[in-house]
A and B are shown apart, each in its own frame.
Chain A
Amino acid sequence: MSSTGASVADETPSPGGRDPLSGDGAATGRLGDRIFAGATVGAGLLVVVVVVLVGIFLLAQALPALRVDQASFFTSTQWHTGSTLAFGIAGLLWATVATSIVALLVAVPFSVAIALFLTQYAPRWLSRPAAGLIDLLAAVPSIVYGLWGGYIVAGKWAPIQDGVSTVLGWIPLFAKVDGITGGSTLFFVGLVLAVMILPIITALSREIFDQTPTTHKEGAYALGATKWEMIRTAVLPFGKAGVISASMLGLGRALGETIAVMMILSGLPQGAPWTWSLFNGGATFASKIASDASEFSGGLSTGAYIAAGLVLFVLTFVVNAIARVIIDRRKAFTE
């Protein structure tokens, strides 16, 4: 990965690269330093404490419900929280993961391309207003995405989806599911989520690409690289860790998105047959919790939903851990 042609003298750290001045010893002794360092540590620990408390809260609320759960929590798709508790998360997990993956697969390439456009390709007069335009997407509240997606785009999408499932229906992912209308499927929700997370990933990627050291870029050009080769060898490697980090933020939002998903996605009746199709309805963890939150009473039945929240929490944990490993491994390569 050191094919960037950067000189050895160039000490600009890559994002996610070596920590700046590790162990620089510059902070020893002085009172101001000790106070400031203490404040930063305090803030960091506060975040840890909050997350741990959330974890404890989720566990404490979920365990009693899990203890009396009459269904297999991980493999069942039923969700009964009336007088008898029988609930399982298989359906929720699939819907959450499927929509988020669709969203990420669509949004990341677009975001990177747009960030490259804004920082490397767009004429100067265009790049700033264009960036503002994309940021505007981040300003749209999720309930508006829900209205727009569910009430306006859904009808237009339905025939497209029917076409896709006619041609590609032999692939289980794109099989037609009877009784679920086009604009209310997992796949469609994934697309709307992609639009929602696009500005987040774009904004951060843009900032990072923008910071690619000129020396790296000029080095690439000096070696006769075309613009695309320069991007591939200088900009992208420099920004990779940052893009992954930004994608994780986007993924976090997709996994936890509530209102828009709730408004768009069709619910399934109890005992609906299992299918791997993306053209099916369902409910994600967050949308399930939110749509039933109106009947929460804080006892055992609520615990079932909290247990679902706990799985989402753990899911995020795992996804982030994987992302960490990827970033760290890449770091090892770059160094």
Chain B
Amino acid sequence: MKALRISQLAALSVAGTMALAACGSASNDDAAGGGGTSAAAATSSSACTPGNLTGAGSTAQQNAMAQATAGYKARCGSDVSYNGTGSGAGITSFITKQVDFAGSDSALNPQGKDGDEVAKAAAACGSPAWDLPMVTGPIAVAYHVKGVDTLVLTPSVTAQIFSGKITKWNDPAIAKLNPGVTLPAEAISVFFRSDSSGTTDNFTNYLNTAAPSDWTAKHAKDWSGKVGQGKAKSAGVSQAISSTEGGIGYVEWSFAITDKLKMAQIDNGSGPVALTAESAGKAVEAATIAGTGNDLALNIDYSTKAEGAYPIVLVTYEIVCSKNADPAKGKAVKSFMSYLVSDDFQNTLTSIGSAPLPTSIKDKVTAAVAALS
């Protein structure tokens, strides 16, 4: 009884918020529009299967999950709790059957540092576990230099900045890429994530792939650069950049937006590309599928020269059991996953610093979700 009453209250408050947002804000119209659509579209797309779910994992998709759980609750009335514990902890929780799905910024790894994650997950599920790419989180190279409003960087120069070979903002290498921009003679302060994170992993993977001669260390979740100050979590890095003149660092796009940081344009070889949902989507489109069947692990091509593609992206997966031991749970998971892949949800992602899945990939995910049970 009580639970029912509370969920009704909550549903009311959600509806209230959305109405407010829809009326009040001209600036947030993306979100309000998205929220409104998802509430209104409740009748149009796939039916809901009730059932509360718990998920845990990547913090990179925490914002997207907040959006998804609110939208899903408004549509289906079920509670989904997503706990941003970190990808590794999320997978551990999934393998030890603590959660119904895991969010991760890397697919299950058969050669994981602590054994075969694919096999462990399959053992926990009693059926193969699938990696479903759901949320694209671009990584911004954010900087704080007075008077420099646009900054173009190439993989090589980025790698040299983050490895300490370039130490001044007015270095000729940077100046060459930015004609007409007055670069100050101040020192560059590099900030990195002091905690293990998929963001660091993807960013160093980008540097290592796109500029292998300037960044020789292999990608890892811990910072492998030789310079810089480590800050805890994206919030810490973001805060440090915004308060340090001459600072530069890498953060998830959403943080750069919230903290109003200036973001560098990346020139991977076919001209400078600013970070937008569209340009990030193009990079995901260039990715190839590494998994087999409905396991949709992606291989991102960081050195892509595709026109207008922003190459530093991070794709987060939902890791689910293909066939859940508990049929009711399986249906609830399927219901939530089909909400995640639906246009209603994917189209709201842009406004929260994520990019929607490109159509080619989305179709495959939709097919995989349909095969869940």
Which A residues form the contact surface with B (CB < 8 A)?
79-83, 150-151, 155, 179-181, 184, 262-263, 266-271, 281, 283, 291-302
Contact = CB atoms under 8 A, between A and B. Distances in A.
A302 B114 contact: yes
Contact of B229 (A267, A293, A294, A295): A267
Given A291-B196, A293-B89, A301-B114, 14 more contacts: A82-B221, A83-B113, A181-B244, A262-B232, A263-B236, A266-B229, A269-B223, A270-B225, A295-B88, A295-B89, A297-B113, A297-B117, A300-B113, A301-B113
Contacts of B112: 297, 299
B92 A151 contact: no
Nearest to A184: B229
9 contacts: A179-B229, A267-B194, A267-B223, A269-B230, A270-B223, A270-B224, A291-B196, A294-B59, A297-B113
A282 to B, nearest CB: 9
Nearest to B88: A295
B243 interface: yes
Contact of A294 (B86, B189, B220, B223): B86
B231 interface: yes
Contacts of B223: 267, 269-270
Q: Among the interface residues A79, A266, A293, A301, which one has the most CB atoms of the partner chain B within 10 A?
A: A266
Given A179-B189, A291-B195, A294-B196, A269 B226 contact: yes
A184 B197 CA distance: 21
Contact of A296 (B89, B218, B227): B89
Interface in B188-246: 189, 192, 194-197, 218, 220-232, 236, 239-240, 243-244
B244 A295 contact: no
Contacts of A297: 88, 91-92, 112-114, 117
A302 B114 CA distance: 9
B327 interface: no
Contacts of A263: 232, 236
Nearest to A83: B113
In the complex, the 5 A-B pairs of residues with the closest C-beta atoms, listed nearest first? A267-B230, A294-B86, A299-B114, A267-B194, A295-B88
A300 B114 contact: yes
Nearest to A291: B195
Contacts of B189: 179, 181
B85 interface: yes
Contacts of A80: 220, 222
A182 B112 CA distance: 39
A54 B224 CA distance: 32
B87 interface: yes
Nearest to B117: A297
Given A82-B113, A297-B91, A299-B115, A266 B222 contact: no
A49 to B, nearest CB: 25
Contacts of A292: 195-196, 222
Given A80-B222, A82-B220, A181-B244, A295 B196 contact: yes
Contacts of B226: 269-271
